Amino acid sequence: MKKAKDILTSNNVVRAVLGLAILLTLIAVALVVSRHIGGGRGYSENVYKSLVTVESGDTLSKLLLAQGFTNNDVLQIAKVLKSDADITSLRADNDKIEFVRTDENSPVSKIVIIPSPWRQVELTCGDAGQWQCKTVDIERDTRVVYRAGEILDGDSFYLAGMRAGIPAGILAEVYDLLAFEMDFERDVRAGQKFSVLYEENFSNGKKIDNGRVLAVEFEALRGNVKMYRFKKSDGKTGYYDENGNGAIKSLKRTPINNAKVTSSFSNSRKHPVLGYTRAHKGVDFRASTGTPIPAAGAGRVVARSYNRGHGNYVKIRHNGSYETLYAHMSRFAKGVVVGTTVKQGQTIGYVGSTGLSTGPHLHYEIIKDGKHVNPMTVKLPAINNLDKEDKKKFLEYRKALDKGMEQLSKNPNWFIQL
Ligand SMILES: [Zn+2]
């Protein structure tokens, strides 16, 4: 079996960028075929442990009293939890508590509160009867995996992604990233291939959750779309295309994910309500009434109004020369008024069918320097571009990642261990 060390260091480019923090970890890597399952939390054998999952209606005092603690203990434990671990309440269906005894009938000697798979708060009682607590971060063993798929006839990207074994959460993130570059309605065709490089987090050999999306590739009609996650020297992370340009655009072409385009941008079309030919200055997305409408980009609300054609609409002015408009809303989002600044993805209103509309949909316009442009084809400005130094590092890092992906594509059961 070939080791990742050989794969990744067989390249001079890789050697040249050993200084990169992320590569330092990649170098220590081994591609492993089998996954071993382990267990246990690492306590010594002669203990008796019981694990309680916090349910709705449970409180710390209720659970502690049930284990035989006195009211005085409960107060002391609550106090130390608040001061030392910043825990003031338990979250139902999330937190777990482990009670540790030396044997079944002895009093609890240790309480372990588990608020996340990656954090444990351990409470122990000293000889003087004083409770103390210590927070332990669970060591995470992160494995980078590669999944590739192909769009089949009548497929959607989601279906193809699920078939390729990409978890739903990762797929949603990938969709969000690609939506900056692609029009899923018209760019997705049978025969297109895609691949994703992402992290899986393990603890004691057991998979706990998925991590971050590290790279995405999609063979789109307008050319390959590639995006890589990269950490700049200032510590900020972003996604970049293969040339190191920011992959996150200032605006989204399709504000609502997975919504079908029912009418495209056109300079002349027969209006469905008016009956005569009139330009369609935006794109219509079918969505049910009440679907949240996210702002396509960050900006300031310059109109929140009603007119006969648009019905309830919101207009946002973005940095630079762009404005976006969202029409036919059933209602506006709370707090969105003229002058409010909104973030990219923030809900500004809800889909409806107000104004001249034949059914619930979002009518979306992009206005550049006062002129309507086609949201599906307009070249959108990137945000978060790299400076010269970071770009150089990125290009070297990207080559190493590409090489890793190439190896993984030939050996789909392998993973890179960071
Ligand atoms: Zn329209």
One digit per residue, the tens of pLDDT, for the chain of length 418 reads 334 433 333 333 333 333 233 333 443 333 333 333 233 344 455 789 999 999 999 999 999 999 999 999 999 999 999 999 999 999 999 999 999 998 888 889 999 999 988 999 999 988 888 899 999 999 999 999 999 999 999 888 999 999 999 999 999 899 888 888 877 767 788 999 999 999 999 998 899 999 999 999 999 877 889 999 999 999 989 999 999 999 888 888 888 877 888 888 887 666 666 666 678 899 999 999 999 999 999 899 999 999 999 999 999 999 778 999 999 999 999 999 999 999 999 999 999 999 999 999 999 999 999 999 999 888 888 877 899 999 999 999 999 999 999 999 999 889 987 6
The answer to whether residue 11 is domain-embedded is no
Residues 318 and 218 in one domain: no
Residues 159 and 207 in one domain: yes
Residues 367 and 265 in one domain: yes
CATH at residue 346: 2.70.70.10
The answer to whether residue 202 is domain-embedded is yes
The answer to whether residue 146 is domain-embedded is yes
Residues 365 and 390 in one domain: no
Query: What pLDDT, on the 0 to 100 scale, is given for residue 272?
Result: 67
Residues 124 and 183 in one domain: no
Query: What pLDDT, on the 0 to 100 scale, is given for residue 142?
Result: 94
Residues with Cβ within 5 Å of ion ligand 1? 284, 363
Distance CA 323, CA 79 (A): 52
Contacts of residue 215, Cβ cutoff 8 Å, sequence gap at least 6: 195, 196, 197, 226, 227, 228, 229, 401, 405
CA of 341 to the centre of ligand 1 (A): 25
Residues 146 and 121 in one domain: no
Matching residue, tokens 């018209």? 186
Residue 246: closest CA among 400, 377, 345, 381? 381
The answer to whether residue 16 is domain-embedded is no
Q: Whole-model pTM? A: 0.67
Query: What pLDDT, on the 0 to 100 scale, is given for residue 262?
Result: 87
The burial class, CB within 10 Å (0-12 / 13-18 / 19+), for 151 is buried
Residues 196 and 113 in one domain: no
Domain residue limits at 349? 260-373
Residues 122 and 200 in one domain: no
CA of 282 to the centre of ligand 1 (A): 6
Residues 60 and 115 in one domain: yes
Query: What pLDDT, on the 0 to 100 scale, is given for residue 274?
Result: 63
- What is the number of domains present in the chain? 3
Query: What pLDDT, on the 0 to 100 scale, is given for residue 106?
Result: 87
Label residue 103 left, alpha or beta by phi (over 0 means left) and psi (-120 to 50 means alpha).
beta
Domain end marker among 137, 170, 204: 137
CATH at residue 116: 3.10.450.350
Residues 108 and 170 in one domain: no
CA of 296 to the centre of ligand 1 (A): 16
CA of 365 to the centre of ligand 1 (A): 8
Beta strands in 109-256 (DSSP E): 110-116, 119-125, 131-137, 141-150, 193-203, 206-220, 223-231, 237-240
Distance CA 313, CA 223 (A): 34
CA of 364 to the centre of ligand 1 (A): 7
CA of 338 to the centre of ligand 1 (A): 23
User: Number of C-alpha atoms within 13 angstroms, CB side, residue 386?
Assistant: 26
Contact between 108 and 99 under an 8 Å Cβ cutoff? The reply is yes
Domain end marker among 89, 115, 137: 137
Residues 397 and 327 in one domain: no
Query: What pLDDT, on the 0 to 100 scale, is given for residue 269?
Result: 62
Beta strands in 59-205 (DSSP E): 96-101, 110-116, 119-125, 131-137, 141-150, 193-203
CA of 174 to the centre of ligand 1 (A): 27
Residues 54 and 95 in one domain: yes
